[in-house]
A = this chain, B = another copy of it.
């Protein structure tokens, strides 16, 4: 029967088969949004607010409408006047207008949109739209936004957004800028701190950063003559965007069709509606196809990673046992809630770190409206921010208590059989193994020799993230030429899902992997999937694909049994042939299909679904990072000599792709650690381009970048697989922060780590401390 079930040797799963999209991508033949045009297509462009907070006194588009080539100019007022649409949307709260109505809330807030026959006409029209603002006091930092007397951004009642079935996930605090207050309490925090031998309290902060997918947001929308709405869109969440648009246009979701080509990266930036509402509204008014592609500056103004302040207080016994922790997270979510409430929930859930602590108070709130661009899902979903805090605090405790940082973690960390904060039994964690493997790879405990005048140090960090829930459904269609097509709504955005899902289907169907192709998402044809995010596709969709392939295979075997006059139990299907085991009686899968239908054609379809209800066990992603750095105390310059990312992937369906995920995650973490930061002046973004916003380049990478994949099988995952998309990112900054302390004895609390900050910290500390060597002290 199943290769998975029978412990038969795997032929395709576990192999680093080449990416199915590799050749066409390398040859420049892959179809991205940029390559998709339609006849009669218009160009969309957006006019954005120039003030951070203001009332709209007047938006006059008369002159713009008279520009030759301009087909449609839409403003918030046109939407309200038209009356057929619901102009507000938002996954968590219904707080974001398609185009600003009455107020603007940040520099970059969309005020009006134009569709014209070419870009020149569209830009000319934007210039001619007259907007008068009445500026209002603005607030930019999360802590300022909850201070007494802070200006209130959203004055009306906050209604739940389209995504949530109920309000259990979102708790706005009326009359404040708090759009979600997340609380978690275990034990008695104050008693815990009283009982502790040592209590430390620190504040960490992380700035807004960019996901920076190479491809900007882009949508091509049109309205069929029949009134049905269709879009090509580079979204990670076709079904969520469909539901959100259905709410805007007040039609059933099936009235809207969303097709997704390859994505040029996403990292969370293409979750939830982005360019889709404006593009679709333009197409709806213009009754012609409209393509709206954001400029890089617009991407900067559309979505960010949450700037966060984490106040963390921990109490421990002399032997390093943690007894109490109190965490307060303040996430600046920008002008609209977007998915911030859920990010804060996830950050809260994981914010105490992967440690057994009897008394925990995640009295931890927040998500706060500020007059900045909205923040949302970012690879790691709250973990990068909070890991920067709890793993540095763990290191601080170790240093204060003179315990080896690995030791103190081993003493406290969750192990299989422990109970997580919400009562789930932890299992198949792989966390301890990640930590030990990473430590070994960095030669933890062995001193390393710095160049003269330089200082070296080592540090490490771990993280544990809960699974992202949601339903995934797959269909596997076997065609009459013995090929199979896998129909899912998983978005191939560079992560390799097409390859991995095809491997799973091929393994289970017994077909060569070249005979399996992947359909790209098309909500009219591919089945529902919650989303491509949260490291969930290999696990949830992979399992759905496995089950769908199994159903198709069982059907094939039934038919072949009839044709080969054999029992189903005596059949195996491998390399495209159904064979009576141990004989040469065999049929190609193509023959089986055709013979059944007595025709030159036929289709066999298998279905599979996976969702929380079906998972008998939860699972967690574990990862560790370890870094060795060299610091120049004269300049403050920090170089990473070696970085090790160790992730538990359950089962590496495609080891090469897993390695690339971990490598990519580490590089992304390095960017966030050292150079990435959105810089504002009174709400005006100063660096919305690669010139001033510095992503890591090849020369910024460590000389050694090592990946360790661990395989602690997850019982519900396909062939034991867990996800791996995010887990490499969160440990990076804290591992480096800890290595910095090891090297020069000073700790930084604010990301990014810059030479200036290192120098300043050294000056304040009166110079570098003793030479470090990881735990060797």
Chain A residues with a Cβ under 8 A of chain B: 24, 27-31, 37-39, 41, 162-163, 165, 224-226, 239-240, 243, 246, 252-254, 469-471, 473, 475, 477, 479-483, 485, 487, 517, 519, 522, 524-525, 527-528, 530, 594, 596-603, 605, 607, 609, 611-613
Interface centre among A487, A599, A607 (most CB of B within 10 A): A599
Structural contact, A224 and B481, CB atoms closer than 8 A: no
Return 19 A-B CB contacts under 8 Å, by A number: A29-B224, A30-B226, A162-B600, A163-B600, A239-B600, A252-B483, A253-B480, A253-B481, A254-B517, A475-B605, A485-B524, A527-B603, A528-B601, A528-B603, A530-B599, A597-B609, A597-B611, A599-B611, A605-B605
Q: Decide yes or no: A477 and B39 within 8 Å by CB, A243-B600, A598-B613, A599-B611 being known contacts.
A: no
Q: Which residues of B contact A29 (CB under 8 A)?
A: 224-226
CB-contact partner of A470 in B225, B479, B527, B599, under 8 A: B599
Q: Which residues of B contact A477 (CB under 8 A)?
A: 527
Q: Which residues of B contact A594 (CB under 8 A)?
A: 165
Determine the distance from Cα of A296 to Cα of B17 in the docked complex, in whole angstroms: 52
Shortest Cβ distance from residue A42 to the other chain B in the assembled complex, whole angstroms: 13
Q: Decide yes or no: A525 and B487 within 8 Å by CB, A471-B598, A530-B601 being known contacts.
A: yes
Q: Which residues of B contact A483 (CB under 8 A)?
A: 252, 254
CB-contact partner of A524 in B162, B519, B596, under 8 A: B519
Determine the distance from Cα of A41 to Cα of B475 in the docked complex, in whole angstroms: 33
Determine the distance from Cα of A598 to Cα of B471 in the docked complex, in whole angstroms: 8
Shortest Cβ distance from residue A201 to the other chain B in the assembled complex, whole angstroms: 40
Determine the distance from Cα of A336 to Cα of B748 in the docked complex, in whole angstroms: 83
Q: Is the interface of A mostly helix, strand, loop or mixed?
A: loop
Q: Which residues of B contact A528 (CB under 8 A)?
A: 480, 597, 599, 601-603
Structural contact, A473 and B598, CB atoms closer than 8 A: no
As for how many copies of this chain the complex holds, the number is: 2
Shortest Cβ distance from residue A558 to the other chain B in the assembled complex, whole angstroms: 13
Shortest Cβ distance from residue A769 to the other chain B in the assembled complex, whole angstroms: 53
Q: Which residues of B contact A600 (CB under 8 A)?
A: 162-163, 165, 239-240, 243
Shortest Cβ distance from residue A275 to the other chain B in the assembled complex, whole angstroms: 20
Which B residue sits closest to A523, measured CB to CB? B479
Structural contact, A601 and B31, CB atoms closer than 8 A: no
Structural contact, B480 and A30, CB atoms closer than 8 A: no
Q: Decide yes or no: A239 and B530 within 8 Å by CB, A39-B37, A254-B481 being known contacts.
A: no
CB-contact partner of A252 in B37, B475, B481, under 8 A: B481
Shortest Cβ distance from residue A539 to the other chain B in the assembled complex, whole angstroms: 16
Which B residue sits closest to A594, measured CB to CB? B165
Determine the distance from Cα of A243 to Cα of B590 in the docked complex, in whole angstroms: 13
Shortest Cβ distance from residue A748 to the other chain B in the assembled complex, whole angstroms: 42
Determine the distance from Cα of A29 to Cα of B528 in the docked complex, in whole angstroms: 29
Structural contact, A601 and B471, CB atoms closer than 8 A: yes
Q: Which residues of B contact A471 (CB under 8 A)?
A: 597-599, 601-602
Shortest Cβ distance from residue A277 to the other chain B in the assembled complex, whole angstroms: 17
Shortest Cβ distance from residue A468 to the other chain B in the assembled complex, whole angstroms: 12
Q: Which residues of B contact A613 (CB under 8 A)?
A: 596, 598
Q: Which residues of B contact A162 (CB under 8 A)?
A: 600
Structural contact, A24 and B519, CB atoms closer than 8 A: no
Which B residue sits closest to A469, measured CB to CB? B598
Determine the distance from Cα of A39 to Cα of B40 in the docked complex, in whole angstroms: 9
CB-contact partner of A473 in B31, B253, B473, B603, under 8 A: B603
Structural contact, B525 and A525, CB atoms closer than 8 A: yes
CB-contact partner of A527 in B252, B530, B605, under 8 A: B605
Structural contact, A519 and B527, CB atoms closer than 8 A: no
Q: Which residues of B contact A165 (CB under 8 A)?
A: 594, 600
Shortest Cβ distance from residue A440 to the other chain B in the assembled complex, whole angstroms: 41
Determine the distance from Cα of A30 to Cα of B482 in the docked complex, in whole angstroms: 35
Which B residue sits closest to A239, measured CB to CB? B601
Determine the distance from Cα of A612 to Cα of B599 in the docked complex, in whole angstroms: 10
Determine the distance from Cα of A487 to Cα of B485 in the docked complex, in whole angstroms: 16
Determine the distance from Cα of A607 to Cα of B607 in the docked complex, in whole angstroms: 10
Determine the distance from Cα of A313 to Cα of B717 in the docked complex, in whole angstroms: 74
Structural contact, A485 and B243, CB atoms closer than 8 A: no
Determine the distance from Cα of A41 to Cα of B607 in the docked complex, in whole angstroms: 38
Q: Which residues of B contact A612 (CB under 8 A)?
A: 598
Which B residue sits closest to A596, measured CB to CB? B613
Q: Which residues of B contact A479 (CB under 8 A)?
A: 253-254
Shortest Cβ distance from residue A565 to the other chain B in the assembled complex, whole angstroms: 16
Q: Which residues of B contact A607 (CB under 8 A)?
A: 605
Q: Which residues of B contact A239 (CB under 8 A)?
A: 600-601
Q: Which residues of B contact A530 (CB under 8 A)?
A: 599, 601
Determine the distance from Cα of A246 to Cα of B165 in the docked complex, in whole angstroms: 48
Q: Which residues of B contact A243 (CB under 8 A)?
A: 600-601
Q: Which residues of B contact A599 (CB under 8 A)?
A: 470-471, 528, 530, 611
Determine the distance from Cα of A35 to Cα of B303 in the docked complex, in whole angstroms: 38
Interface centre among A29, A522, A605 (most CB of B within 10 A): A605
Q: Which residues of B contact A254 (CB under 8 A)?
A: 479, 481, 483, 485, 517
Which B residue sits closest to A29, measured CB to CB? B225
Shortest Cβ distance from residue A512 to the other chain B in the assembled complex, whole angstroms: 12
Which B residue sits closest to A555, measured CB to CB? B607
Q: Which residues of B contact A517 (CB under 8 A)?
A: 254
Determine the distance from Cα of A506 to Cα of B609 in the docked complex, in whole angstroms: 24
Shortest Cβ distance from residue A271 to the other chain B in the assembled complex, whole angstroms: 14
Q: Which residues of B contact A30 (CB under 8 A)?
A: 225-226
Shortest Cβ distance from residue A374 to the other chain B in the assembled complex, whole angstroms: 21
Structural contact, B605 and A225, CB atoms closer than 8 A: no
Which B residue sits closest to A590, measured CB to CB? B252
Shortest Cβ distance from residue A121 to the other chain B in the assembled complex, whole angstroms: 19
Which B residue sits closest to A252, measured CB to CB? B481
Determine the distance from Cα of A41 to Cα of B469 in the docked complex, in whole angstroms: 44
Interface centre among A30, A243, A253 (most CB of B within 10 A): A253
Which B residue sits closest to A562, measured CB to CB? B613
Determine the distance from Cα of A37 to Cα of B162 in the docked complex, in whole angstroms: 36
Which B residue sits closest to A479, measured CB to CB? B254
Determine the distance from Cα of A483 to Cα of B239 in the docked complex, in whole angstroms: 15
